[in-house]
A and B are shown apart, each in its own frame.
Chain A
Amino acid sequence: MSALQESNVVEESRLVEESSMNTTSRLEACFTALKQQNRPALVSYLTAGDPDAETSRRLLQGLPEAGVDIIELGMPFSDPMADGPAIQKAALRALENGQTQAKTLEMVRQFREQNSTTPIVLMGYYNPIYCYGVERFLTDAAKAGVDGLIVVDLPPEHDEELCQPAAQHGIDFIRLATPTTDAKRLPKVLANASGFIYYVSVAGVTGGSAPTPERLESAVNQLREHTPLPISVGFGIRTAEQAATIGRFSDAVVVGSALVDCIEYASSGDDAVTRVHGLVKELAESVRGCRENG
């Protein structure tokens, strides 16, 4: 089955769900459909506006066809404390080319004109949202078709800032769990979580070294005992092989820095699109087959 046919499967399943229960979110529909297919979601991360607005728009538009199930779109920030060099540079390229919060939301709106099924999760840091104005941001994001938010520097202790207001706008607030989140703390982390849980595979910044699959599997299984939400794994996943290994036991695998690197090494906008969508296809094929042989 081609990637395109598969996204139709997701579409159909969503329509079925929507007719019975019209509160089903794009994220829920996506995970339900993938569960039926017995495969994990492929989640891509790219920074909005990287390397420039037009290339970024083309990159985004082509992701579902290349095989991405859920799109994480980075909101660039001047001081990305939790990111490694690859995504730091991506944010700088985007900002130097004039990317703003408003332009990022506009990208999502345009994407939604073509695609009403692929979930989009905006990822970044709190300050650009705070400066945009939380209510205004949530209103505009919901209108544009944003499904979820991952905000690295908003732990549950600050849920009243954005997590709770987001819920009122029907936007999922995706919580990060990490290797340092112990059993005592986990209930607090999961309390207001929605959409899915993002398990940060290693204590560190994005684009770092890969975790061992054994440790990851036991961490994911432990998480499952505490939450019915789908569990995605990210940080340090670069290759199709890694994605397949981790996709055997997780509900989604996130690839970010490896895709962003494709943009850095590209010789032109066209080349960036070819490279990024090329790697996505490889990853998509790999996660699609990952649970077939054992």
Chain B
Amino acid sequence: MNKPLSLPDANGLFGSFGGRFVAETLMPLILELQDEYATAKNDPEFQRQLAYFQGDYVGRPSPLYFAERLTEHFGGASIYLKREELNHTGAHKINNCIGQVLLAKQMGKKRIIAETGAGMHGVATATVAARFGLPCVIYMGATDIERQQPNVFRMKLLGAEVIPVTSGTGTLKDAMNEALRDWVTNVDDTFYIIGTVAGPHPYPAMVRDFQAVIGHETRAQMLEKQGRLPDSLVACIGGGSNAMGLFHPFLNDADVKMIGVEAGGKGVNSGLHAASLNGGTPGVLHGNRTYLLQNEDGQIIDAHSISAGLDYPGIGPEHAWLHEQGRVEYVSATDDEALEAFQICCRQEGIIPALETAHALAEVAKRAPTLPREHLMVVNLSGRGDKDMMSVAHHLGDKFGVKNV
């Protein structure tokens, strides 16, 4: 495998994945964004501002916490949780939003738009838009609005306009289509804050870079705690931004194993899942070539997951490339496995994880018991689960004597 840290190439390609498959109307803007970002990346003042907001506003660094009880419960590997759920707004999403809003300001943009699935990216975007005094429009699938009411309310409190998207199945991909339509219509004054490592170049690389703070911190923290690098990294994957943020700084460390966990829904063989790598094929959607859930005629198939944040029929192009290179192992966890791991985390550690994150924990439940205590396993605790109370109550309410939350 050659120089994984230097990708994408000048055309935004990771091998054959990625690229800039967008309408001509957007191309000049995308090229401008690419230049602006390249400049900002090497601009000490931009980096200083970014570090300031990541620290005093977001609350970084997030702790790398040794999950003693979870480790005992599974009786194998030593489990560390990278506590991204302790960030302001309760997930890793804000790492990226802070970076992009600073870029938007620098480019003189007057309006922010974003798509959201579970609402965490929407909340993080609405948050930074409020902080920087920019009007904000969030596109959210009507189905997701139904299952993520608390986040819808949070976005509105933060001053964002939340536009329900009813086309398709009313989930994340449809919200992204609608955000792209807004962008192409308001291309002069609008900055589109994409929430994951997907979309046209430079988004996959830019979002990855902003999220890579997770991996950089983890590296330093583990070296400080144990004097060595972790043996494995585990993260859930929808578009794949929290996983890429954790993995990327370790890609050249051949001894660090990486496992990405896709949403298996009702099972990858059931047809009802969101596992693009394990159950999809290469195609072109939302500005990049990557693995997609699609039929043989190239029509996109709706994803299914208990977790709105993983309910996306694609995956970031860099993951597609790492999958084909074999550098990262991509597995899946079903809705039921995620719910089970969700409860274990609540009871063993007193941490209510997001349903997205619970997919990573489900893989830990399978893997940790087979490994020795010396094995250092880091799980990205990418978000907190407060937003999921309604969904969880729907599935587990009877067990707890709760009808509705």
Report A's interface with B, CB cutoff 8 A: 77-82, 84, 88, 95, 100-101, 125-132, 152-155, 157-158, 175-182, 185, 189, 200, 203-205, 208
Residues in B neighbouring A77, C-beta threshold 8 A: 298-299
Chain A residue nearest in CB terms to B27: A155
Within the complex, the shortest CB–CB distance from B110 to chain A, in Å, comes to 16
Q: What are 15 A-B pairs at a CB distance below 8 A?
A: A88-B167, A127-B298, A132-B298, A153-B22, A157-B19, A175-B24, A177-B24, A178-B23, A180-B29, A189-B24, A203-B184, A203-B186, A203-B188, A205-B181, A205-B184
Partner of B23, one of A101, A157, A176: A176
- List A contacts of B296 (CB < 8 A): 131
B147 contacts the other chain (CB 8 A): no
Contact of B20 with A82 in the complex, beta carbons under 8 Å: no
* Residues of B in contact with A, size category: 35 or more
- Known: A157-B11, A176-B24, A208-B185; 9 extra A-B contacts, CB below 8 A, are A78-B168, A101-B298, A126-B284, A127-B283, A131-B294, A153-B284, A181-B28, A182-B28, A203-B186
Contact with A along B1-32 (1 / 0, CB 8 A): 00000000001000000011111111111010
- Are A101 and B25 touching (Cβ within 8 A)? no
Decide if A78 touches B19 in the complex (CB within 8 Å).
no
Whether A200 pairs with B297 at a CB distance below 8 angstroms is: no
Complex Cα spacing A132 to B294, Å: 12
Which of B11, B181, B298 is close to A128, meaning CB atoms less than 8 Å apart?
A: B298
A208: shortest Cβ distance to chain B, in Å? 7
CB distance from B173 to the nearest CB of A (A): 7
> B327 — which chain A residues lie within 8 A by C-beta?
none
Chain B interface, DSSP helix/strand/loop, else mixed: mixed
Closest partner residue, chain A, to B186 (CB atom):
A203
- Decide if B168 touches A152 in the complex (CB within 8 Å): no
A200: which of B25, B167, B300 is its contact (CB, 8 Å)? B25
- B residues near A, CB below 8 A? 11, 19-29, 31, 167-168, 173, 177, 180-181, 184-188, 281, 283-287, 292, 294, 296-300
- Bound-state CA distance A152–B287 (Å) is 11
Is chain A's interface secondary structure helix, strand, loop, or mixed overall? loop
CB A179 to nearest CB in B, in angstroms, measures: 8
- Which residues on the A side are within 8 Å of B27 (C-beta)? 155, 157, 180-181, 185
Contact of B184 among A82, A126, A131, A154 (CB under 8 A): A82
Q: CA–CA, A189 to B31, complex, Å?
A: 14
CB within 8 Å for A204 and B185 given contacts A101-B298, A131-B298, A132-B298: yes
Contacts of A204 in B (CB 8 A): 25, 181, 184-185
Q: Tell me which residues across on chain A come within 8 A of B185, comparing CB atoms.
A: 203-205, 208
Rounded to whole Å, the gap between the CB of A217 and the closest CB of chain B is 20
B180 touches A158 (CB 8 A): no
A129: nearest chain-B partner, CB-CB: B298
Q: Is the CB of B299 within 8 A of A95?
A: yes
Instruction: Report the nearest A residue to B26, measured CB to CB.
Output: A180
- Check B28 against A81 for contact (C-beta < 8 Å): no
Cβ of A125: which chain B residues have Cβ within 8 Å of it? Answer: 284
Instruction: Write the nearest CB–CB distance from B192 to chain A, whole angstroms.
Output: 12
Q: Which residue of A lies closest to B31 (CB)?
A: A185
Whether A203 pairs with B283 at a CB distance below 8 angstroms is no
Complexed CA–CA distance, A141 and B292 (Å): 25
